[in-house]
Structure formats: structure tokens, C-alpha cells
Structure 1
Amino acid sequence: MPRYKTRDGWIEVDNWGYQLQGRNAPLSVEALARQPHDMLVIDATRDGTDATRFSRRDVAAMQDGPDGRRLVASYISIGEASDFRDYWDEDWTTTGKATGRLTADAPDWLGPVNPDWPESRKVRYWDEDWQDILFNDKRSGDLDKIVKAGFDAAYLDIVDAYYFWGSEVKKSDRQPGDPKNDTQAADRMVEFIKDMTDHAREKNADFFVIPQNGAWIIDALKDGGRAYRNEIADYYASIGGIGIEDLYFRGDKDENNRFRPDEDTIRILKRDFLAHDIPVYVTDYITGDKRVATFEAAAAEDGFIPYAAPDRDLDRMGDGWEM
């Protein structure tokens, strides 16, 4: 069972919950505080905007769960920029939305639209101007605000952007200086995450991050040979776990796909993370007692910590807990 050091002592995590928005209403501190989980992953704000950020008192209330102190981690996307976040500038596209064509005012780090989430665009995450939006010396970045609010950790989404820039990006979307291959892209992502974590630990020595997806990032570094051994060690020292989506029930539907375990990724997660004492948190998007039981049993057998999310919008907790 994973154990994490906090200012209040050690906390063990046997189960977790994951919710990024309320259902037809903003996230509620009171409802989240009632959740039974050892760790909560939530957005840093009630509705995605800076004006509704959770305060230090709010976070403390959520950390004080019904069974005692628990971990509360804040979601933050580090591989994409979204048009509903406060840092977005409408002048960057012809329509003001992510789906519009880029204008001359668009920053060099802004990349192509994510077709699955059209409110977001890929970013060149290694670009200093993008990184400054997340953390900076003035302590005004999104990560800085998460640390200041008292969150125990940050849950980093779109870590697998390294694979996009290494293998998937179209030639027409490439710029000079973009990574030449997966290993170079993975190295830049690992350096980014290390710098981010080091920066946060200047204010909270116990702070850690949990990258979501990117299960093959260590494998990509290993392909670069012995030169990347230090980078791999730095990555392990920065992260307190890895989150993975759609590992067992996989397919084209948003929820309730067939039970089809991704055996290759399961093998890599065991070899590159569990074997190095890095816990694996798995989210599959399923409903129904039979599916959930199958998922939880399979994940437990593999040594992972499961969370069955009832829908991909992550607007309610599983097991009947709703807002």
C-alpha cells in the first residue's frame, strides 16, 4: 500500500476518487469532503476559472475526510492549453476558441487542436513561455497557486504529449527545434516534470506529482541508451505514482467498452513503475456492478489501485456519490 509523507504525518492510500467538475453545478467543498477515499484528485477550481479557485481553508476541509487525514491532489494539464482557462487569449485564434485558426498573435508554443477535446490545443511543453504559465519565479503560475492553496500533489495530464511530438505530429505542424524522435521528446518531458516538482518542493518539501498516462516514457528513454540513466532516476524521484486511463475496458465508446486488458502496457507498468515502488492508479470508465467488480479484481491482481469512473466527463464520483 503506498505511503506518503505530509506535514501531518504519513498517509496510506488504499483507494482513490477522481472528479474534475460538478454535474450541472460547480464542485462543492462539502460534497468532496464527504467522500470516503484516501486520495482525491480534483480540479484546482470550482468551475475551471481563477475566480473560483479553492482556498487553503477549502483544501484543508477536503483533506479532513470522514476517516481522517487524506491526500488531495490538483489536476493540471501540462501538455495542452484549453480555451476555458484564464491564461487563454482570444487573440490567439480567429474565433477566440481553440478550434479557430491560429493568428499572428498566437505564441510559438501553441500547437494543433486535439480532435478528441476540441477546446484544447497541444503545446510545445518544453517552451519556457509555456512553462512560465505553470510555474515561475514570481510564484504566479498555475502550479504555484496549487501549492499555495495547500494541495498535497499535482495530477499532471497529457504527459503522453511527448509521444505526440515524437511520433504523431504532422509535418505541416512541425517547427524548427521540435523533437526529432520519441527519446528526445521524452527527455524534454522528464526534464519539465523534474523542474516543476523541484520548484514546488521549494515551498512544500513533501509535494509530489502523479503523471497521467505516458506509461512508455521510461521505455522511450531506455531506447536512448545509458546516457539517460540520470534522467530516469530524476523522474522516479519526482513522481509519487502514475495514473493510467482505459487499461482494461477499451474501445471506441466513451464508457462501458469491452473487457480487453492492454497486456503490453500492463507489463510496462509493472516493469518500469511497480518494480521501482511507484504505485499505479488506474481509471476505467465503466458502470454496472459486474463490470466494476471485474475491473477492480483485475487491477488488484496486477498490483494497481483502481477507480471506476461512471463517465468520461468526470462530473461525479463512482459508487453512487454524486454532486
Structure 2
Amino acid sequence: MIHRKFVFLAVTLSIAFCAQCAYAASAPQYLYQLQNAQFSKLRDSNCKYYVVDPDDSELTASQLTTLKGQGKVILAYISIGEAETYRDYWQSSWKEGNPAFLEKENPDWGGNYKVKFWMPEWQTILLNFLRTHILQKGYSGLYLDIIDAYYYFENQRPSAKQDMVNFISRIRAETLAVIPGGKIFPQNAVELYENVGYRQLMDGFGVEDTWMDGDKMQPSQQTKYVLNILKQAKQDGKVVLAVDYPKKQNNICTFYQKCNAEGLICGAFDRDLTGKLQTCNA
């Protein structure tokens, strides 16, 4: 779905999470936390997969070495389809239309601007940022959000879908150049998996809202379509991190039941990704 603006909130990531992360059927089996993901909590948890914001968590190269030494896969979250005013690459003089790649501000997430992601200037800025601020610190790889930005541009640019695949190809090449074996996990836009070339660019998926949008059930045909693609991805050896954001206890339990039945790595979290763990207590 969409990335999250930093809001420093209290986190309820307790030591109990260590036990829950041992692939329990009724609790998160990985950690997706973009706000205040502290090194000590990551170190003491026993999940394998973690998605954190590199600017918010401020993990050092030494800390990443420690975490990876524990067998953990630490993925750095970054939006590639929108520019974020709270990243170091942002210039105070930027505004809609200047630079040319900068589009309208996202009305749902202030400080986030659509970008013409195929433009060389944007790709150079983002690749430089990835190299110097993330990859050189030693993250396990990247968790790429706003892959579905191509929807926004398809009417005016018929090649937008392929442009996104090409951009991810450049990101993967840059990642592997800095981190041999570095992993790429795009989030959402699962239909891109039908592109054989795209499949070769990714090590896994992040998928939101497969069964529910908050506490509202998704249309059954939509869920079926997504699951068919995820099943193929699993057969191809891809890792699937599934996240829904239900609040009601019965829906949290339904999510874990359905997600575990598909053999995915499951996690129910609050949509702001503050570290609150949604567990089934039934």
C-alpha cells in the first residue's frame, strides 16, 4: 500500500514477542515496524525477517552485523514511487513540477509526492541514496514500496508498467553490486509477477490487505487472484510476507487462520506500523 510518515509513538514490542515470533499460528511471524524499531528489541526477538525504516531505526553497520550474525534478514523499507520530504535526498526548493519528475502530493500522506519514476534524474537520486544511506551500511536488502505507482501514470504513459520493472531491475543491480546476495522484496502490485523477467528480480513479496482492508473483507475474487499468484511465487521459492491490518479480535483470528492455511509468513499489525502486535487471543 503506501508508506508511512514518521510519527514517534510509544511501542508495545515486548519480550513476549520473542516467543510469539517462533512461527506461532496466532501471532506475528515477522516484524514490520517503521516507527521506533530499536536495536535492542530487534536483537532480542527471534524472528527471521524484519522490515524497518533505515532513517527511523538508525541502525549502524555494527548493529546490522550483529543482527545478521543471528541469522536475521533485515530489510530496509524505501518508497520508489513517491518522494518523501523527510529523506536526506529532499531539497527545500522542490515543489510540484520542480524538479520535472515531481508530481502532486499524496492527499492521504502529507509530505509524499508522486514521482515520474522512469525519469533518469529521479532514478539517479534514489540510487545514490540507496547506495550511501542504506546498502553501504550492510542491510540484508531492500523492501520496495509504491511499486503500484505505475497505476497513476498508465493513462498518460502506456509503458509505465514496464518502466517500473526496468527501474526495479536497476535497483537490483545496484543492490547486488554493493551487497552480494542482497535481497529485493517489492510490496504489492502482485500482478507484475506475471512478467517472467520481473520474477527473476525479486527474492520475495510483501503483500498487504489480502483478506481484509482493515476490518472489511476484500472481494472474494480479488483475494483468490492474489492467492493464486502467491502460490506460484511460493512454488518458485519466493518468500511471502503477508500483512493485514484488522482491529477486531475475531478478524485478527480469521486473518491468522486463513494466512497460515496458505503457508505464508503472517503478521497482523496496526496500519501505522508502530510495532503494535495484533495477536489472536481466542
TM-score normalised by length of structure 1: 0.71
Q: Is the 8 A contact 1:134 1:144 kept in 2?
A: no
Shift of the alpha carbon at 1:319? 5.3
CA offsets 1:106-139 (integer angstroms, 9 cap, x no match): 111111121111220111111111111121xxxx
**Alignment partners' CA distance in 2, 1:113 and 1:280:** 30
SS at match of 2:103: strand
2:136 to 135, 148, 169: 148
**Alignment partners' CA distance in 2, 1:33 and 1:319:** 21
Q: How does 1:51-70 map to 2 (within 5 A)?
A: 53-64=58-69, 68-70=70-72
Counterpart code for 2:197: D
Q: Is the 8 A contact 1:20 1:42 kept in 2?
A: yes
Q: How does 1:108-147 map to 2 (within 5 A)?
A: 108-135=100-127, 140-147=128-135
Match of 2:212 in 1: 249
Q: Is the 8 A contact 1:18 1:317 kept in 2?
A: no
**Alignment partners' CA distance in 2, 1:262 and 1:33:** 39
Counterpart code for 1:33: R
Q: Does 1:258 align with 2:216?
A: yes
Counterpart code for 1:81: A
SS at match of 2:253: helix
Structure 1's consecutive aligned runs of 4 or more residues displaced over 4 angstroms after TM superposition are none
Q: Is the 8 A contact 1:33 1:63 kept in 2?
A: no
Q: Is the 8 A contact 2:89 2:129 kept in 1?
A: no
Match of 1:304 in 2: 264
1:240 to 185, 199, 203: 203
Counterpart code for 1:37: C
SS at match of 2:260: helix
CA offsets 1:216-262 (integer angstroms, 9 cap, x no match): 2245xxxxxxxxxxxx3332121011111112122xxxx4x134465
Percent identity, please.
Answer: 28
Match of 1:192 in 2: 167
Shift of the alpha carbon at 1:142? 2.3
Match of 2:228 in 1: 270
Counterpart code for 2:114: K
Q: Report the structure number with the largest CA radius of gyration.
A: 1
Shift of the alpha carbon at 1:279? 3.0
CA offsets 1:73-101 (integer angstroms, 9 cap, x no match): 000100001111121122123xxxxxxxx
TM-score normalised by length of structure 2: 0.80
**Alignment partners' CA distance in 2, 1:143 and 1:263:** 40
SS at match of 2:178: coil
Shift of the alpha carbon at 1:146? 1.6
CA offsets 1:164-216 (integer angstroms, 9 cap, x no match): 2114xxxxxxxxxx522xxx211111111011101211122211211011112
Shift of the alpha carbon at 1:62? 3.1
RMSD (Å) for aligned C-alpha atoms: 2.3
Match of 1:85 in 2: 87
Gap runs ≥5 in structure 2: 1-21, 24-28
Match of 2:18 in 1: none
Shift of the alpha carbon at 1:276? 3.2
Match of 2:157 in 1: 179
Shift of the alpha carbon at 1:302? 2.7
Q: How many residues align?
A: 251
Q: Is the 8 A contact 1:63 1:71 kept in 2?
A: yes
Match of 1:284 in 2: 244
SS at match of 1:92: coil
Gap runs ≥5 in structure 1: 1-12, 48-52, 94-101, 168-177, 220-231
**Alignment partners' CA distance in 1, 2:265 and 2:220:** 16
Higher relative contact order (CA 8 A, sep 6+): 2
Match of 2:5 in 1: none
**Alignment partners' CA distance in 1, 2:210 and 2:255:** 9
SS at match of 1:116: coil
